[in-house]
């Protein structure tokens, strides 16, 4: 009897750090049936003689909660060999949601994750009210890859408290009601819960994102749900300063680990050229938490972001910018021209924020006004010198002169810092933010970048270790027991790639394919020859086969 699929003569890297070996892989009924010298034929056979056969990659940090309604392929994450994603991060999402709260929920997602409101209004199907209904709707709708869902705290607080969720902490009765909803979500298979403490995470009409107002007693109650159910993880967007965890942030992580008895991951760990030692010092200080299941996430590629002033997310942690959110373009231009706004912005820059006011690092990428074309590829600092103006005024003036169409870009890159962090077992590689900040950045190709840049070109990490870091490690963290490794009996999620060509594209490209024609950046993949999900071939030589074999991945109690 023939197997459903046999992958012949590949170089197998199993996701567990085992040295690579030559073998066949047989698939039957959506699971791996045999690894070794397979004598049976396959109904479909793939010759992998010159290719690497690895587990499908697992992305622990995405925001596809809305995009799955209109894009079953979760592009462009699925292009890069990723077969399972975890969404619902940073305390923001689209479920649970009562019909009269859809506008607030959509604006939260727009303000925090920079997804155009018009696209959400046109694309989100709203065929759910409760969180279990949301998960079931995703399964019924079908997807190309596997979907795991964290329960984001903000919509749960909206569901119980209404508009007051954006104004205050919950009462004891409200906390019990929210905890009951989280209990229901976890029982249905949610992967855990998520929240944020970051000031730049603002919600509807510039108010604090609702989960930021949760009290310590609330967070204890929600963490206790995971302890009772003996499953799930907690994700929290936490650190206000790069590479640092403050005393209060440490206490929060300690409390969440204690009250949940479950793993906790937080954002983010990074280094800077100015303070290259800081991350290691912080990780050493956090080792008591790490030993108990705490794990910071790191990005394995340079952080490069586009920004424009129609959606000023980069400045969302500055009080001066709150009134510029969710406004028509003409009103935003009036605000940006206001001397009082500029004075307040200048004052905000005197204290630490997401944007640090280093104008020589802000490059003018693209303009619409022909009169401004001469400034493309120059920094704001350089243009300010040419115009003999203050850089802050130049930045805002250029935006107004281009009717807020101008695209700026910023980059942060500390090569040795990234090299150290991707090799540090005290971290988890992730932070793609797939589906979010759609016209600012696209890091969905982090896995292929890790393989192409850090494994092949830089030889900074072994192939076996790199694949382990993006397969079994995130799968284990989230309790996904039957994926993330190649082993007989487990789900047949398999990525087959050419070691000599695998990579992320050199530059993201902009395309207008969101609902309503809104624009987004996408990152092409290179060298991914086959992607197999639950035993079905999803991509073959970069082309979608038409299959939609993805499943909703549901949590199970700890063994």
Domain ranges across the chain: 3-55+524-547, 57-302+414-481, 306-411
Cβ atoms of residues 27 and 4 within 8 Å:
yes
pLDDT, residue 304, reads 73
pLDDT, residue 413, reads 66
pLDDT, residue 114, reads 87
**Nearest one of 278, 280, 190 to 235, comparing CA atoms:** 190
Dist CA 105 CA 92 (whole Å): 8
pLDDT, residue 409, reads 83
Q: Residue 217 contacts by C-beta under 8 Å, 6 or more apart in sequence?
A: 169, 172, 175
pLDDT, residue 322, reads 86
Looking at residue 259, the DSSP 8-state letter turns out to be: H
Pairing label, strands 520-522, 509-511: antiparallel
Dist CA 212 CA 483 (whole Å): 33
pLDDT, residue 429, reads 97
Dist CA 534 CA 554 (whole Å): 15
For helices 329-337 and 339-348, what crossing angle results, to 10°? 70
Residues of the chain with pLDDT under 70: 412-413
Query: What separation in angstroms does the CA of 71 have from each of 97, 125, 245, 542?
Result: 21, 12, 37, 17
CATH of domain 3-55+524-547: 2.30.40.10
What's the whole-model pTM score?
Answer: 0.90
Strand partners, 107: none
Dist CA 261 CA 477 (whole Å): 13
> To which CATH superfamily is domain 57-302+414-481 assigned?
Metal-dependent hydrolases (3.20.20.140)
């Amino acid at each position: 009897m023939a197997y459903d699929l046999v992958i012949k003569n590949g170089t197998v890297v199993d996701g567990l750090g085992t040295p690579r070996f030559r073998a066949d892989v047989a698939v039957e009924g959506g699971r791996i049936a045999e690894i070794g010298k397979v004598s049976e034929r396959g109904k479909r056979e793939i010759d992998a003689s010159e290719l690497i056969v690895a587990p499908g990659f697992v992305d622990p940090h995405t925001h596809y909660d809305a995009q799955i309604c209109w894009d079953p392929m979760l592009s462009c994450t699925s292009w890069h060999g990723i077969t399972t994603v975890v969404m619902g991060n940073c305390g923001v999402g689209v479920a649970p949601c009562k019909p009269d709260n859809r506008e607030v929920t959509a604006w939260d997602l727009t303000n925090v994750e920079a997804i155009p409101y018009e696209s959400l209004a046109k694309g989100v199907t709203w065929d759910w009210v409760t969180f279990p209904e949301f998960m079931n709707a995703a399964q019924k709708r079908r997807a190309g890859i596997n979907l795991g869902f964290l329960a984001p705290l903000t919509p749960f607080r909206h569901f119980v408290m209404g508009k007051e969720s954006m104004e205050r902490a919950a009462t004891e009765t409200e906390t019990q009601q929210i905890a009951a909803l989280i209990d229901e979500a976890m029982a249905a298979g949610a992967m855990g819960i998520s929240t944020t403490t970051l000031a730049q995470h603002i919600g509807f009409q510039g108010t604090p994102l609702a989960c930021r107002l949760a009290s310590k007693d609330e967070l204890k109650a929600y963490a206790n749900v995971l302890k009772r159910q003996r499953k799930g993880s907690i994700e929290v967007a936490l650190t206000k300063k790069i590479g640092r965890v403050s005393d209060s942030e440490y206490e929060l992580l300690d409390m969440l680990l204690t009250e949940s008895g479950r793993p906790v991951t937080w954002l983010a760990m990074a280094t800077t050229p100015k303070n290259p030692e800081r991350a290691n010092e912080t990780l050493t200080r956090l080792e008591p938490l790490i030993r108990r299941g705490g794990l910071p996430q790191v990005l394995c590629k340079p952080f490069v972001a586009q920004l424009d002033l129609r959606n000023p997310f980069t400045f969302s942690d500055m009080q001066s910018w709150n009134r510029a959110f969710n406004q028509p373009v003409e009103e935003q231009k009036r605000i940006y021209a206001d001397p009082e706004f500029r004075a307040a912005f200048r004052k905000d820059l005197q204290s630490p924020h997401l944007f640090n006011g280093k104008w020589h690092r802000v490059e003018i990428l693209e303009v619409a006004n022909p009169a401004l074309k001469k400034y493309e590829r120059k920094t704001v600092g350089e243009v300010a010198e040419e115009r003999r103006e203050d850089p802050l005024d130049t930045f805002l003036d250029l935006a107004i002169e281009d009717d807020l169409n101008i695209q700026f870009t910023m980059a942060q890159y500390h090569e040795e810092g990234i090299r150290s962090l991707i090799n540090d077992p005290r971290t988890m590689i992730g932070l793609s933010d797939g589906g979010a900040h759609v016209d600012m950045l696209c890091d969905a190709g982090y896995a292929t970048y890790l393989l192409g840049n850090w494994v092949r070109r830089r030889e900074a990490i072994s192939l076996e270790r790199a694949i382990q870091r993006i397969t079994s490690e995130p799968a284990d963290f989230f309790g996904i027991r039957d994926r993330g490794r190649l082993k007989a009996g487990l789900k047949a999620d398999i990525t087959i790639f050419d070691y000599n060509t695998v990579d992320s594209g050199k530059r993201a490209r902009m395309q207008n394919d969101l609902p309503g024609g809104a624009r987004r950046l996408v990152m092409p993949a290179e060298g991914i020859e086959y992607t197999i999900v639950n035993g079905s071939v999803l991509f073959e030589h970069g082309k979608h086969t038409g299959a939609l074999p993805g499943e909703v991945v549901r949590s199970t109690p700890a063994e």
